[in-house]
Amino acid sequence: MSKIATREAYGKALAKLGAENKNIVVLDADLSKSTNTAHFAKEFPERFFDMGVAEQNMLGTAAGLAAAGKIPFASSFAMFATGRAFEQIRNSIAYPKLNVKIAATHAGISVGEDGASHQAIEDVAIMRSVPNMTVIVPADGTETEQVIKAAVEMNGPIYIRLGRLALPIIFDENYKFEVGKAVTVKEGSDVTVIACGLMVGPAIEAAEQLAGENIKVKVINMATIKPIDRDAIVQAAKETKAIVTAEEHNIVGGLGSAVAEVLAQTVPVVQEMVGVKDTFGESGAPTELLEKYGLTAKDIVTAVKRAIERKTSL
Amino acid sequence: MDNDALQVLTDKSGAIRRDIVKMLSEAKSGHPGGSLSSADIVTALYFHEMKVDPAKPDWPERDRFILSKGHAAPVLYAALAEKGYFPVEELATLRKMGSRLQGHPSMKHLPGVEMSTGSLGQGLSAANGMALAGKLDGRDYRVYVLLGDGEIQEGQVWEAAMAAGHYKLDNVVAIIDHNKLQIDGPVAEVMSPDPIGDKWRAFGWHVEEIDGHNFAEIIQALNKAREIKGKPTAIVANTVKGRGVSFMENQVGWHGNAPNAEQCTQALCELGGKADE
């Protein structure tokens, strides 16, 4: 199976879209080779601005570019883009609803060896708490390419969460991403696994494994965390009466929380959350970290079984 | 500048100062000190320097003004109203429910406001973005940004200063309203930014230091900024906080307190207006 990191798919998509749309400009904070905005910089140097190691000014400058009609993509690592520059995003971009695309890479613990200082596990929580902000976590290269295109086509601020780690391609050329629309990857009637980002692959793997035990798992790819697809969640809750969420993010405030908010107000059913359990990461190989912090297909299998147990004991 | 032009600006800044005092008194909260200290600078920008059209607030070729020290919103609102962006009567709605005149400027609420500000330190970055876009599009508009002397304690200001110098943004003019007071006391005592001019020079800017209440000096500095190519210009404008109202001048307590009805009447008398004007 071919593999590509979502950051790489982003960089390629951006360079391609840059040729079609002259209003696209790109800003980076001294990480263009890592974030992959370097592809765009090479093709369109006059529309690429390296802002140096200064994320607050980068996001503020992006706001000004957007106010003057440009479509700025601002990139850095998720930790610094959303952490260091949170208030610039909140006050200079989201409040005036400016058309800035924050495409942040190296999200989650799969950053690996750099350790906890660089492993953003809070970014989805803080970005989705800001009014006017759209939040998207693509699952693979195919989806990333479509997300970047959709970001250019929509007007308004958006946060796109990308990863460092090369991931298997899940979706083929027939896949259709739409902002705010969940995609059912696999049908099932016992439990629904709602996943995003690099947990979509393990969710599918878990469902296939559980099929062997005659447990029918529905798998939903919830790329858009905000605005979340309420209808898809409600329908899944009604169909399977149990939900498992899976994300490479703190279980506080991420996809699991977003799904729980919908369930609590609509169809309250059993929910299990697979994610980083409110703890910082550490240095290590990405696969070792995913295993240690409970972000594998095996962890989803366990959560599914727990959900079924809780559902049946109600 | 001839005497007639000077008289026009003097009259206009008087009207703007009276608007500021009246709207703050009506709102019962807000920031008079830094609005009054920057009134002459903002008057010179809107009534002499800038190429703007109140009938076309989105005109792509317009010059832009960003009030980075957003708490001085009254001076911006007064200037926009006096310029004709909206009726002067609307100034009375400042800070009230449903008003387009939010406590701090919001570009989504009010046409003519170029950037939402209020959280200090963010305006220059946005100005740089607009200036970069102008250069990319081959437009010759200029971007003016007003910063407070307390505001430049924010680190982001210096990130932006470095970037404007680096990208040679000669279409950016930063004006520092150096009124020497901030909420906790004299700026020099709270966290001294001195020497202000040298700092901007070190970041690659052309620097002018002027009396921020002298129209001839303000306009001369703005003219000079137009001539400077290849680098942005910073104008350090020495001002008096609360300028024009005797009991507010140089008083730190008038940073963020609105005048009551009696104080408003006295202030309007001093500013050459009538209480019922």
DSSP assignment of B199-212:
HHHHTT-EEEEEET
> What's residue B275's pLDDT?
47
Cβ–Cβ under 8 Å, residues B16 and B75:
yes
Contact at CB, A65 and B132, closer than 8 angstroms: yes
| Mean pLDDT calculated for residue range A29-45 | 98
Q: What's residue B1's pLDDT?
A: 79
User: What 3-state class would DSSP assign to A49?
Assistant: strand
A183-312 maps to CATH 3.30.930.10:
no
Complex ipTM value: 0.96
Could you identify the residue written with the tokens 């020079």? B201
- Decide if pLDDT at A314 tops 90: no
Which of A21, A49, A61 to probe the B interface (max B CBs under 10 A)? A61
Task: Give the CB-side neighbour count of residue B191, counting CA atoms within 13 A.
Answer: 10
| Bridge partners, residue A186, by sequence | A219
CB A29 within 8 A of CB A53: yes
- Collect the ranges in chain B with pLDDT lower than 70: 274-277
d(CA B248, CA B12): 20
Q: What per-residue confidence (pLDDT) applies to B274?
A: 57
- Nearest by Cα to B63 from B38, B82, B46, B43: B46
Q: Do the first three CATH levels of A3-168 and A183-312 match, i.e. the same topology?
A: yes
CB–CB contact B163 A60 (8 Å): no
Q: Does B159 touch chain A (CB under 8 A)?
A: yes
What amino acid occupies position A214?
A: N
DSSP A53: S
What domains lie within chain B, and their CATH numbers? Answer: 3-270 (3.40.50.970)
pLDDT digits 0-9 by tens, A160-202: 999 999 999 999 999 999 999 999 999 999 999 999 999 999 9
Note the pLDDT of residue B273. 74
CA distance B209 to B201: 12
Where does the pLDDT of residue A17 fall: very low under 50, low under 70, confident under 90, or very high at 90 and above?
very high
Question: What is the per-residue pLDDT for A122?
Answer: 98
- Torsion of Cα atoms, A95 then A96 then A98 then A100, to 10°: -30
Residue positions of A annotated with a catalytic role: 55
- Given the DSSP bridges, would you call strands B181-182 and B185-186 parallel, antiparallel or unpaired? antiparallel
Residue carrying structure tokens 């406590």: B103
Taking the CA of residue B215 and the nearest CA in chain A, the distance in Å comes to 29
B window 34-73, beta carbon within 8 A of A:
60
Give the separation between CA A259 and CA A231, rounded to whole angstroms.
11
- Chain A residues near residue B132 by CB distance under 8 angstroms: 25, 49, 61, 64-65
What topology is assigned to A3-168 in CATH? Rossmann fold (3.40.50)
Domain spans of chain A? 3-168, 183-312
Predicted pLDDT at A246: 99
Identity of the residue in A65, A92, A97 whose CB atom sits nearest the CB atom of B108: A97
Residues A218-256, buried b or exposed e (16+ Cβ, 10 A)?
A: bbbbbbbbbebbbebbbbbbeebbbbbbbbbbbbebbbb
Q: Which of A182, A189, A237 is nearest to A211 (CA)?
A: A189
Give the other-Cβ count within 10 Å of B240's Cβ: 18
